[in-house]
């Protein structure tokens, strides 16, 4: 595995991260690894838009939509 070093972390940020790690019952290293792992696994907005665009493609015409609306109205 590769090591990552983050320099110049402000003391208040470091203190907050240490507190959150302790509250989670983890070492700072384990807490930060979990944080980075979750971030890497979370798709970006652009990735989500691409995925939704790809999955949302349909072959429904305007006539199909109007027909479905008419059928729904007839059932009332």
Whether residue 68 is contained in a domain is answered as yes
Q: CB-based contacts of 21: which residues, under 8 Å, 6+ apart?
A: 27, 28, 30, 31, 32
User: Which pLDDT score is estimated for 27?
Assistant: 98
Is 70 part of any domain?
A: yes
Q: Please state, for a pLDDT cut of 70, what percent of the chain lies above it.
A: 100
Would the pTM count as exceeding 0.75? no
In a domain, 1, yes or no: no
| Mean pLDDT, rounded, for 28-43 | 96
Domain contains 6: no
Number of domains the chain is built from: 1
Domain for residue 22, yes or no?
yes
45 vs 47: CA distance, rounded Å: 5
HSE-CB at 45 with a 13 A cutoff on CA atoms is 0
Where would I find the H helices in 1-76? 11-23, 28-41, 45-55, 62-74
* Residues 54-65 pLDDT 10s: 887 778 888 989
The dihedral formed by the CA atoms of 45, 50, 53 and 57, expressed in degrees to the nearest 10: -160
* 4 within some domain: no
């Amino acid at each position: 595995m590769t090591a990552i070093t983050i320099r110049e972390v402000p003391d208040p940020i470091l203190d907050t991260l240490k507190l959150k790690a302790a509250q989670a019952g983890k070492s700072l290293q384990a807490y930060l690894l979990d944080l980075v792992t979750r971030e890497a696994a979370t798709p970006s907005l652009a990735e989500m838009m691409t995925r939704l665009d790809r999955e949302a493609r349909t072959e429904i015409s305007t006539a199909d939509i109007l027909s479905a609306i008419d059928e729904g109205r007839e059932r009332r």
